Structure 1
Amino acid sequence: MTESASARDDKTPRTARGERTRRALLRAAADEFGEKGFHEGSISGITRRAGCALGSFYTYFASKDDIFRALVADMSGQVRDHVALRLPDARDGIDAERIGLLSFLEFAREHKEIYRIIDEAEFVDHAAYRAHYETTASRMAARLRKAAERGELSDDVDEVHAWAIMGMNVFLGLRYGVWDDSRDPQEVAAIANALVANGIARKA
């Protein structure tokens, strides 16, 4: 284990109260970085928003870079969990992708700061930026393969399809989740899902 990894492990909350404080700091960091960006955002701004002392910050995070890295991973996990809750309602593999996009649109509308944070991660912490997209695409690819095994999708679906669908979802979330949230997300998801259905659904 590296020294940096060991330091991060040592800062893992050991009590429910500690986890609440860490969670408050992450929420405050999302607001701080979402509003000001990484470079203009500050630790003092985060602690002020979280309503906790500066010392509490260093109990859980080593630096501004450290909390930013943790925030990217946390937001990625929030998206994953938000989508996962809805997927059991899917009728089949095609419908799962409609629900996945719909869930993401809803998440993006509630957490518009995610785009600025993830975009900045490309330059602030490229490893975290890459991990966000690679893990998302990996989950989608696994979901598509399982649907293909059930006979719901074409046999040739693979990682390329997952990245293509994810790319479409990312820009639809930007357009209809962040820039303009007036259009019915159900309609947006249905239109995009028709592209998926016509592209990779098993042909009769």
Structure 2
Amino acid sequence: MKYVNQPKTEKGQETLDKIILEAERLFSEKGYYKTSIKDITKAAEVGIGTFYIYFEDKHSLYQAILSEYGHFIRKTIAESVRTAETRLEAERMGIETFIRLVRKRPSMYNVIWQALYVDKKLFVDYYTKFSENYIKQILIAQEKGEIIADYDPEALSYMLMGITNFIGLRYAIFDDQTDLDPILDEVMDMLVNGIYTHNERME
């Protein structure tokens, strides 16, 4: 993981994991700016000196958490859509996987979106990386004729990411009990058929 001095022993890894886990919890509950290194080390039951074995400062710890989120989400979604036979099927699987991830780990939303105020470049880089990976899949789907080739892949990537983000917000953060199947059915129907009547569509 970037931004971290990697431990050389199993015990060191356990200590690092505790620091990251407690930092994630505190950043989510109190916010980045109201959480001190002392708060984190106290919660993790380690000395402040131990913190500096692994991290240069609080910002590098935050970067490490954000980097881990991005890698974890992308890897999990990629694995979940591996059996998809079409881009549409992969889209549905990806949205569902993301929502279920957030239902299990809701603190991710709080921590990720704080990046806009903690370090805007981190926030931009986080979503740019997602977009770059998305664009690769969109281009493949366009070549196969599954997605209209005239549409800009980058704009499409952000549109689809926006749908996933806000559907996730509604059905993982606001309410994590709703049955996802009918929601996903409707989202997929809107993507395939559009939301405007024929008379309202642009020529």
Instruction: Give the TM-score normalised by the residue count of structure 1.
Output: 0.85
Counterparts of 1:155 and 1:96, CA distance in 2: 18
- Give the unaligned 5+ runs of structure 2: 195-203
Q: Which residue of 2 aligns with 1:175?
A: 170
State percent identity of aligned pairs.
28
Q: Which of 134, 149, 155 is matched with 1:160 structurally?
A: 155
1:64 aligns with 2:58: yes
Distance 1:88 1:56, change over 3 A: same
Q: Which of 1, 19, 24 is matched with 2:18 structurally?
A: 24
Q: Which residue of 1 aligns with 2:188?
A: 193
**What secondary structure, in the 3-state scheme, does the structure 2 residue paired with 1:62 have?**
coil
Counterparts of 1:118 and 1:139, CA distance in 2: 18
Instruction: Return the offset for 1:73.
Output: 1.4
Q: Which residue of 1 aligns with 2:201?
A: none
- Give the unaligned 5+ runs of structure 1: 200-204
Instruction: Return the offset for 1:55.
Output: 2.0
**What secondary structure, in the 3-state scheme, does the structure 2 residue paired with 1:89 have?**
coil
1:42 aligns with 2:36: yes
Say which is worse superposed, 11-20 or 88-97, in terms of deviation.
11-20
Aligned residues: 192
Query: What do you get for the CA RMSD once the two structures are aligned?
Result: 1.9
Q: Which of 7, 10, 26 is matched with 1:13 structurally?
A: 7
Instruction: Return the offset for 1:16.
Output: 4.2
Say which is worse superposed, 95-104 or 112-121, in terms of deviation.
112-121
Amino acid at match of 1:175: R
**What secondary structure, in the 3-state scheme, does the structure 2 residue paired with 1:183 have?**
coil
Q: Which residue of 2 aligns with 1:75?
A: 69
Q: Which of 135, 139, 145 is matched with 1:145 structurally?
A: 139
Amino acid at match of 1:86: S
Q: Which residue of 2 aligns with 1:133?
A: 127
Q: Which residue of 2 aligns with 1:101?
A: 95
Counterparts of 1:21 and 1:156, CA distance in 2: 51
Say which is worse superposed, 185-194 or 138-147, in terms of deviation.
185-194
Distance 1:46 1:147, change over 3 A: same
